[in-house]
Structure 1
Amino acid sequence: MSNMFQEIIAFIISTTGWVLVSSTLPTDYWQVSSNDGDVITTATYWANLWKVCVTDSTGVSSCKDFPSMLALNGIIQACRGLMITAVFLGFFGSIFALVGLKCTKIGGTDKNKARITCFAGVDFILSGLCSLSACSIYAHRITSEFFDPTFIDKKYELGAALFIGWAGSILCILGGSMLCFSIGDSVTKSHSQENYIYKGAATHSHISPYPRGHAKSVNPRPTADCSNSSRTQHFDKNIYV
C-alpha cells in the first residue's frame, strides 16, 4: 500500500509540474523592461518566445509577433524547441503514469506496470530538464545583458514566466524520481518472492520418504528367482528317468 500511495503522490506532483511548464509556454512576461535609473516611466516593454509588446501609462498594449522563425535569435529558437519538447514529454509521461499506476486496472501484470511507470518517470524527468534548461538559458541572456556595461540597448529583468517554469521543472524532476524509486521497491519485492518460491520448490523436490542409501527406484523391475527355477527344472527332468 505504501508504494501505491507513493505512486499517487508522485503522479500528482509530476502532473502539477507539467501543467505549470505548459502554462509557461504561452505566458506573456518572460522578460520585462527594467526601470532602474528611470525617474518617469511612460511605457513598459515585455516579451516572450512569440512576440514583443509595449504597454503605455494608460494600460493599452501594442504587440508585434516575431515575423520570421529563421531570422530569430538562436537562443529564442532553442528555448522554443526545449519548451515544446518538455510539453510533449510531460504529456506522454502523464499517460504512461495513468496506465502504470497500481490503482488502475489497465496495463497488464505488475511487471508490465512497473516498466510503464518507469517510462513515465523518465519522461517527467526529461521534461523537467528541458524546461529547466530553456528557462535558465533565457534568464542567462537577460542577466548577461543587464550586467554588461557595454550593452547600450534597453535592458530587461526576469519575468514571472521564468519563475513558474523553474517551479514546474523542479516538480517534474521530483515527481519523476519518486515514480522511478517507487517501482524499484516493488521490483525488488517481486524478485525476492520469486526466489523464495523457487528455493522452496527445489527443497521439496529433493525430500524423499526413504532413508539415505535406500531410495526406491522409479521403475522397479521384478527379479527372477533363478535358484528356484533351476531346481524345478532339474527335478522335472529326474521324474521321467
Structure 2
Amino acid sequence: MASLAAEIIAFLLAISGWVLVSSTLPTDYWKVSSIDGTVITTATFWANLWKTCVTDSTGVSNCKDFPSMLALDGYIQACRGLMIAAVSLGFFGSIFALVGMKCTKVGGSDQTKAKVACLAGMIFILSGLCSMTGCSLYANRITSEFFDPTFIAQKYELGAALFIGWAGASLCIIGGSIFCFSIAGNSKSPRMGYTYNGATSVMSSRTKVHNSAADFKSPKGPPKHFDKNAYV
C-alpha cells in the first residue's frame, strides 16, 4: 500500500509539473521592461519565445513576431528547443507512468510494470532538467544585460513565465525521483522463505513410537531390588 500511494503522489506531482511547463510556451511575459529609474512610464515592453510586444498607457498592445528563426539570438533558439523537448518528454513520461503504475490493468507482470514505471520516472526527471535549463538560460541573459553598465538598450526583468517554468520543472524532478525510489524500494524488499519439514502426521507418529520404545527399554525410575522370596 505504501508503494501504491507513493506512485499516485509521484504521478500527480509529475503531471502537475508537466502542465505548468507546457503552459509557459504560450505565456506572454517571459521578460518585462524595467521601470528602474523611470519617473513616468508611457509604454511597457514585453517578450516571449515567439514575439515581442509593446503596450501603451491606454492598454493597446502592438506585437511583432520574430521574422526568422535562423536570425534569432542563440539563447532564444536554445530555449525553444529545450522547452519543446521538455513538453514532449513529459507527454511520453505520462503514458509510461500510466502503463507502469500498479493501480492500472495494463503493462503485463509486476516486474515489467516496475521497469516501465522506473523508465517513466527517468523521463520526467529529464523533462524537468530540460525545462530548468531553458528557463535558467533565458533568465541568465536578462540578468546579465540588466547588471551590465555598458548595455544602453532597453533593460528587462524576469517575467512570470520563468517562475512558472521553474516550479513545473521542480515538480517533474520530484515526481520522477519518487517514481524511481519507490520502485527501487520494492525490488530490495526481502522475501519470506519456507522450508519443507515433511508430513506432520508421519513425523508425529514416528516420534511417538520412538519415545514409547525408549521408555520401555530404559525406565526413568530408580531400579527396584527384589527380595529373595519374591518369586516364591
* SS of residue matched to 1:46: strand
Aligned length: 201
Q: 1:40, CA displacement in angstroms?
A: 0.8
Structure 1 unpaired stretches of 5+:
210-241
For 2:160 and 2:20, how far apart are their aligned partners in 1? 12
1:1-241 equivalent positions in 2, closer than 5 A: 1-189=1-189, 192-193=190-191, 196-197=192-193, 200=194, 204=196
State the 1:187 CA deviation: 1.4
How far off its partner does 1:26 sit?
1.1
Deviation by residue 1:138-192 (Cα, 9 ceiling, x = unmatched): 0000000000000000000000000000000000000000000111111123xx3
Displacement of 1:25 after TM fit? 1.1
- Secondary structure, counterpart of 2:188 in structure 1: helix
* Amino acid corresponding to residue 146 of structure 1 in structure 2: F
Scaled by the length of structure 1, the TM-score of the pair is 0.80
Q: Structure 2 length normalisation: TM-score?
A: 0.83
Structure 1, residues 56-111: CA drift from partner, whole Å, max 9, x if none? 00001010000100000000000000000000000000111111110111111110
Letter aligned with residue 183 of structure 2: I
Deviation at 1:205, TM superposition (A): 9.8
CA distance in 2, matches of 1:90, 1:37: 42
SS of aligned partner of 1:185: helix
Identity of aligned residues (%): 71
| Aligned-pair Cα RMSD in Å | 1.7
In the TM superposition, residue 204 of structure 1 has moved relative to its aligned partner by 4.2
Question: Which 4+ runs in 1 deviate beyond 4 A?
Answer: 203-206
| Deviation digits for residues 5-58 of structure 1 (CA, Å, limit 9, x no counterpart) | 000000000000000000011110000000111111110000000000000000
Which residue of the partner structure matches residue 226 of structure 1?
none
Alignment-mate amino acid for residue 169 of structure 1: A
Consecutive unaligned residues of structure 2, counting only runs of 5 or more, are 203-232
In structure 2, distance between residues paired with 1:137 and 1:185? 35
Contact 1:111 1:187 (8 Å CA) reproduced: no
